[in-house]
């Protein structure tokens, strides 16, 4: 019984994590298309643009940078505004999406 | 007394300081206005018009921006506008320049039609390859047929600079074979019907590049105006005709040397009886005769120019209000031309030089390159339209009887149809500015119903079939930054070519079948 409970919990946790990860990337894709890609592009930025590319960057770095912009410990007029509109979940999704994209 | 003198001195000092300030301010203001004018020309004019009168993008002048919040305009310039081609200027222009630009735009009236003369054109001619006879006499890359070449007008995010180029692709392998950089966004690519090695690329800012497809390089270029995409080539490949929005004129060029031969002032009496100066709409050469047809957008006239003597003009009047683009049918003897403001497509007989009929065409018809297909003995023409209206449809006409056959309901406004004799579907791009803009819809040639919707990603537009009809190419523009390729029957994705903000797609096969969807056999 105990074993059963444990495995059910594990199964639930596993299926949940698979489902949430899949949802993450798609949600991240649409958020990235709507919010980030205007400046940062999808795979790369414009040859003429002064913005850093995001595709293939480290996931943890993207996440921490976005959170710093959001709480204004990292200062940029435009990024403080844009990151200010993002939830924790959005930031997770975006970081997860961009980090998995090949530049 | 002392006090008085001091006061006097002070006041003299104050006056002289204020004089100094005034003149410095006046000087600074003049300098600023000159600087802002230049900044506008260098960053904004290629889309918004050199005359501030609008072009691919809205007019920006004291009239159109009256009452708009300067803060909102500043934000728009900084971040760009989603779902449009407007890029973010944050980091490209300083914050002060952006603020000054808003002031400049809100205080500048639309400029009078600025001149661009034959002399200006001649002065702009650049020769990159002096002796064309020394170029290799066959392609420097592997390709079965030059008709397999597809050219894509890559705009580049900023409509200029490193991302702006004409990209050429082998439509059998879906691999890029060459890139020709352009000063501003490439807009239209025309292929010579007479010699497979030459193509002509026209930019938003009216430069024309003569491109050698065998070596994938520009050999010459000339600037023919300030803004305007219109360009056509004669059936013998000897002449080009180019038309401008700014200023209101058109020019015939020698296609070999790009030397300008004759300039035309575009003006005439519109269908409402007013004498107007006019933008140049479409310009088209036809396989049927040595002529060009050119649309005078605002004058509502189509001019037929004979390629002989001093290039005499026959004017066909009262064609429609605000003419735009067109396609040919019946071996090039008939021209179907879109009229935005009366929501009709006018059929013109180029042989008799008269209007045959005006056909209903949905709201604000924009036929793109047009499409025509033969089904069960009938020749059907397809017309897209991009107006905001209650029902969005693609119009289908019988081009023999010039009757409306059906208006096929589609999910949004459309800009360009594609068809091919060997492909089962007519593709149309949905451009309504929401998620639908990512899609194209496929209309079955026989049932005339939408049978499939493809989500291309990015802003999907300008579908085009490869010359063999086996592949469907679509630009995923704006943020998509790729051209996506589908198998034209299974509709499975078979390729992707990366480039910055791709727009118009032009198959060299077009010179064979005249209008997309017709069979080359029809032409013989």
Helix (H) or strand (E) holding B325: strand B323-329
- Is residue B143 classed exposed, middle or buried when 0-12, 13-18 and 19+ CB atoms within 10 A define those classes? middle
Give residue B407's pLDDT. 95
Domain with CATH 1.10.760.10 in chain B: 2-107
pLDDT band at B285 (very low <50, low <70, confident <90, very high): very high
> What does the alpha-carbon distance between residue B183 and residue B243 come to, in Å, rounded to a whole number?
18
- What pLDDT does B28 receive? 53
Mean residue pLDDT across chain A: 81
Q: What is the mean pLDDT of residues B401-423?
A: 95
In sequence order, the β-bridge partners of residue B418 are B427
pLDDT tens-place string over residues B140-155 = 999 999 999 999 999 9
Chain A contacts of B87, Cβ < 8 Å?
A: 38, 46, 49
Residue pair B366/B415 in contact (Cβ under 8 Å)? The answer is: yes
- List pLDDT tens digits, range B449-485: 999 999 998 889 999 999 999 999 999 977 778 999 9
Sketch the domain layout of chain A as residue ranges: 18-100
Closest partner residue to B79 (CB to CB) among A38, A44, A50 is A38
- pLDDT at position B174 over 60: yes
More confident residue, B424 or B15: B424
pLDDT of residue A16 exceeding 50:
no
Residue bearing the bigger pLDDT, B516 or B2:
B516
Where residue A26 falls among pLDDT bands split at 50, 70, 90? confident
Which tokens belong to B373?
């297909």
pLDDT for B69 beyond 50: yes
Single out the residue of B259, B189, B188 nearest to residue B222, CA to CA: B259
Cis bond upstream, residue B247 (ω within 30): yes
Assign a CATH topology to domain B364-524.
Methylamine Dehydrogenase; Chain H (2.130.10)
Chain A residues touching B91 at Cβ < 8 A: 49-51
Which string of DSSP letters, residue by residue, matches B60-124? Answer: -STTTTTT--HHHHHHHHHH--TTSS----BTTB-HHHHHHHHHHHHHPPPPP-----HHHHHHH
Contact A42 B479 (CB under 8 A): yes
pTM, to two decimals: 0.88
Q: Which residues of A are less than 8 Å from B481 in CB distance?
A: 41-44
Q: Residue B17 has what pLDDT? A: 41
Indicate the pLDDT class of residue B30, thresholds 50, 70 and 90. Answer: low
ipTM for the complex?
Answer: 0.73
Position A8 scores a pLDDT of 43
pLDDT at B134 over 60: yes
**Closest Cα of chain A to B83: distance in Å?**
9
More confident position, B13 or B217: B217
Task: Give residue B523's pLDDT.
Answer: 52
How much is the mean pLDDT over chain B? 91
Q: Which residues of A touch B (CB under 8 A)?
A: 33-34, 37-39, 41-44, 46-51, 78
Name B506's Cβ contacts closer than 8 Å, sequence gap at least 6: B150, B151, B152, B153, B188, B189, B190, B191, B369, B464
* Cβ neighbours for B82, distance < 8 A, ≥ 6 positions apart: A34, A38
Judged by CB atoms closer than 8 Å, whether chains meet at A46 and B158 is answered as: yes
Q: How confident is the model at residue A102 (pLDDT cuts 50, 70, 90)?
A: confident
Q: Is residue B131 pLDDT above 90, yes or no?
A: yes
Q: What pLDDT sits at residue B450?
A: 97
Task: Classify burial at A76, counting beta carbons within 10 Å of its beta carbon; exposed 0-12, middle 13-18, buried 19 or more.
Answer: middle
CB B464 within 8 A of CB B505: yes
Q: Is the pLDDT of residue A4 over 60?
A: no
Contacts of A39 in chain B (CB under 8 A): 79-80, 88, 90
pLDDT above 90 as % of chain A: 48
Q: Do A48 and B480 touch (CB under 8 A)?
A: no
Domain with CATH 2.130.10.10 in chain B: 364-524
> Of B90, B498, B500, which has the smallest distance from its Cβ to A46's Cβ?
B500
Contact A47 B90 (CB under 8 A): no
Instruction: Compute CA distances B100 → A85, B77, B105, B106, B215, whole Å.
Output: 28, 12, 9, 10, 45
Residue whose tokens read 């998995």: A100
For A18-100, which CATH class?
mainly alpha
The CA distances from residue B363 to A101, B283, B392, B413, in Å, are: 41, 23, 8, 9
What is the CA B382 to chain-centroid distance, rounded? 20
* Closest-CA distance of chain B to residue A74, Å: 17
Query: What class is the B2-107 domain?
Result: mainly alpha
- Report DSSP state, residue B184: B
Residue entry with tokens 């005249």: B514
**Would you say residue A10 has pLDDT above 50?**
no
Give the separation between CA B293 and CA B301, rounded to whole angstroms: 10
- The predicted structure's pLDDT at residue A7: 46
Dihedral sign (CA B88, B473, B435, B414): positive
B330: helix, strand or coil: helix
Lowest-confidence segment of A4-13, A41-50, B63-72, B255-264 by average pLDDT: A4-13
Q: Which residues of B184-197 are buried (b: 16+ CB within 10 A; e: fewer)?
A: bbbbbbbbbbeebb
Q: Is the pLDDT of residue B259 over 50?
A: yes
Contact predicate A9/B57, CB 8 Å: no
Q: Are B159 and A44 in contact (CB under 8 A)?
A: no
Instruction: Give the least confident one: B290-294, B356-360, B485-489, B513-517.
Output: B513-517
What integer is the mean pLDDT of B111-139? 96
Q: What is the pLDDT of residue B217?
A: 98
Phi, psi of B366 (to 5 degrees): -135, 100
């Amino acid at each position: 019984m105990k074993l059963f409970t444990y495995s059910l919990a594990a199964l639930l946790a596993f299926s949940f994590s698979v489902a949430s990860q899949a949802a993450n990337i798609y949600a991240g894709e649409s958020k990235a298309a709507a919010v980030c890609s205007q400046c940062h592009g999808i795979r790369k930025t414009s040859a003429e643009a002064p913005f850093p590319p995001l595709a293939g960057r480290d996931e943890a770095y993207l996440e921490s940078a976005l959170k710093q912009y959001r709480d204004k410990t990292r200062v940029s007029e435009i990024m403080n505004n844009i990151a200010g509109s993002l939830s924790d979940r959005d930031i997770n999704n975006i970081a997860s999406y961009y980090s998995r994209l090949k530049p | 007394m002392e006090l008085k003198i001091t006061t006097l001195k002070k006041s003299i000092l104050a006056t002289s300081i204020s004089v100094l300030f005034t003149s410095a301010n006046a000087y600074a203001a003049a300098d600023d206005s000159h600087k802002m004018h230049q900044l506008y020309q260098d960053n904004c004019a290629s889309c918004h018009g050199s005359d501030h009168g609008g072009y691919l993008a809205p007019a920006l002048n004291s009239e159109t921006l009256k009452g708009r919040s300067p803060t909102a305009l500043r934000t728009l310039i900084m971040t760009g506008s989603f779902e449009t081609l407007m890029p973010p200027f944050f980091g490209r222009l300083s914050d002060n320049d952006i603020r000054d630009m808003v002031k400049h735009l809100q205080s500048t009236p639309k400029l009078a039609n600025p001149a661009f003369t034959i002399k200006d054109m001649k002065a702009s001619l650049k020769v990159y390859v002096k002796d064309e006879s020394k170029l290799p006499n066959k392609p420097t890359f592997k390709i079965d047929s030059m008709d397999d070449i597809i050219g894509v007008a890559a705009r580049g995010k900023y409509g200029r600079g490193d991302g702006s180029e004409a990209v050429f692709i082998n439509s059998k392998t879906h691999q890029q074979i060459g890139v020709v950089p352009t000063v501003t966004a490439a807009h239209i690519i025309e292929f010579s019907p007479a010699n497979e090695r030459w193509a002509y690329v026209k930019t938003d800012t009216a430069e024309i590049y003569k491109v050698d497809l065998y070596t994938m390089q520009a050999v010459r270029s000339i600037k023919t105006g300030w803004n305007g995409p219109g360009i056509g080539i004669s059936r013998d490949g000897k002449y080009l005709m180019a038309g401008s929005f700014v200023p209101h004129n058109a020019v015939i060029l020698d296609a070999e040397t790009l030397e300008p031969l004759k300039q035309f002032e575009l003006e005439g009496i519109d269908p409402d009886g007013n004498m107007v100066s006019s933008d140049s709409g479409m310009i088209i050469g036809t396989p049927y005769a040595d002529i060009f047809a050119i649309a005078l957008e605002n004058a509502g006239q189509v001019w037929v120019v004979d390629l002989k003597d001093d290039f005499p003009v026959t004017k066909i009047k009262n064609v429609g209000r605000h003419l735009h683009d067109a396609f040919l049918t019946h071996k090039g003897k008939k021209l179907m031309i879109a009229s935005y403001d009366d929501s009709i497509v006018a059929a013109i007989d180029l042989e008799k030089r008269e209007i045959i009929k005006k056909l209903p065409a949905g709201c604000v018809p924009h036929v793109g390159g047009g499409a025509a297909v033969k089904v069960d003995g009938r020749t059907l023409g397809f017309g897209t339209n991009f107006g905001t209206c209650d029902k969005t449809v693609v119009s289908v006409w019988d081009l023999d009887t010039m009757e409306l056959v059906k208006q096929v309901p589609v999910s949004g406004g459309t800009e360009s149809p594609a068809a091919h004799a060997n492909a089962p579907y007519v593709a149309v791009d949905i451009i309504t500015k929401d998620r639908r803009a990512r899609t194209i819809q496929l209309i079955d040639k026989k049932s005339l119903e939408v049978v499939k919707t493809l989500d291309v990603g990015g802003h999907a537009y300008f579908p085009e079939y490869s010359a063999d009809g086996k592949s469907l190419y679509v630009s995923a523009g704006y943020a998509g930054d790729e051209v996506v390729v589908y198998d034209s029957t299974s509709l499975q994705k078979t390729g992707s070519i990366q480039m910055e903000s791709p727009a118009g797609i032009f198959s060299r096969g077009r010179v064979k079948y005249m209008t997309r969807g017709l069979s080359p056999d029809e032409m013989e």
